[in-house]
Amino acid sequence: MRVVYDTNVLVSAALKPGSTPAVLVALALAERVRLCVSQSILAEYREVLYRPKFGFEAPSIDALLEDLTRTALLVHPAMRLNVAPDEADNRFLECALEAGAAFLVTGNLRHFPVATFEDIRILEPARFAHVLAERLRL
């Protein structure tokens, strides 16, 4: 199952070990779900995780990003979209569309204009975890 995680999922996972976002990231790293990323998404992950306000240590960020890069499917979106109110959020939709992802997971549903975009379901982490548990029989 292919999925795209919004940056806030990674931030929440790093801030709260054991939380639903942390479990979702762990499932991606264990390749139980196929996380899909693009170069622009990886750049945003890096930029946001390195913000001083979070206080994450550089070696921890580097290790997480290295693990994600190693396990994720890197896609190169061919189409630029202008659907989300926040321009940067369009990169996540572009990646999901190019990858044929079934889900885009975000903690900020209000940043995405619809619940489904081109057959991609846009869900909060808790809802995605519920759907995933049913599909993977966790």
Structural domains present in the chain:
2-136 (3.40.50.1010)
How many of the other CB atoms lie within 10 Å of CB of 103? 21
Q: Using the structure block, give the residue that is written with the tokens 């189409």.
A: 79
**Among 19-28, 40-49, 77-86, which stretch is predicted with the lowest mean pLDDT?**
77-86
Helix then strand then coil, % of the chain, to nearest 5: 55, 15, 30
Model confidence at 108, in pLDDT bands (50, 70, 90)? confident
Supply the pLDDT for residue 138. 54
Supply the pLDDT for residue 83. 85
CA 36 to CA 68: how far, in whole Å?
9
CA 30 to CA 28: how far, in whole Å?
5
Q: Where are the alpha helices (DSSP H) in the chain?
A: 7-15, 20-29, 39-49, 58-71, 90-99, 125-136
Does residue 114 register a pLDDT over 80? no
- Global pTM reads 0.94
**Among 18-27, 80-89, 107-116, which stretch is predicted with the lowest mean pLDDT?**
107-116
Check residues 137 and 19 and name the one with the higher pLDDT.
19
| 42-80 per-position pLDDT tens digit | 999 999 999 999 999 999 999 999 999 999 999 999 989
Of the CA atoms within 13 Å of residue 106, those in its CB half-sphere come to 20
Burial of 53 (0-12, 13-18, 19+ CB in 10 A): exposed
Mean pLDDT of 37-45: 97
Does residue 33 register a pLDDT over 70? yes
Bridge partner residues of 5 (DSSP): 105
